[in-house]
């Protein structure tokens, strides 16, 4: 198991958490109509997208070049 594989696992877990929490906050916004709850939902959705982009470009970001 390489360190990059474990890093990908942690990032994927963070993405899933952000998506779940964003959905949770949207449900809470529908119930309470509190604008701050909507801010949290949007913020966590943006974080999930940003982490997804990071995960997609992880090898480039880390400068990883596999041995050929």
For residue 57, give the DSSP letter.
T
Sequence ranges of the domains in the chain: 14-59
User: In terms of pLDDT, which residue wins out, 62 or 8?
Assistant: 8
Ramachandran region of residue 34, left (φ > 0), alpha (ψ -120 to 50) or beta? beta
pLDDT of residue 18: 98
For residue range 18-61, what is the model confidence (pLDDT) as tens digits?
A: 999 999 999 999 999 999 999 999 999 999 999 999 999 987 87
pLDDT of residue 67: 61
pLDDT of residue 4: 83
pLDDT of residue 5: 87
pTM (2 decimals)? 0.83
């Amino acid at each position: 198991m390489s360190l990059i594989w474990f890093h990908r696992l942690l990032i994927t877990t963070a993405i899933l958490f952000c998506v779940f929490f964003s959905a949770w906050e949207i449900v809470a916004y529908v119930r309470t109509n509190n604008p701050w709850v909507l801010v949290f939902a949007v913020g966590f959705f943006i974080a999930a997208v940003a982490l997804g982009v990071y995960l997609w470009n992880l090898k480039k970001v880390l400068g990883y070049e596999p041995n050929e």
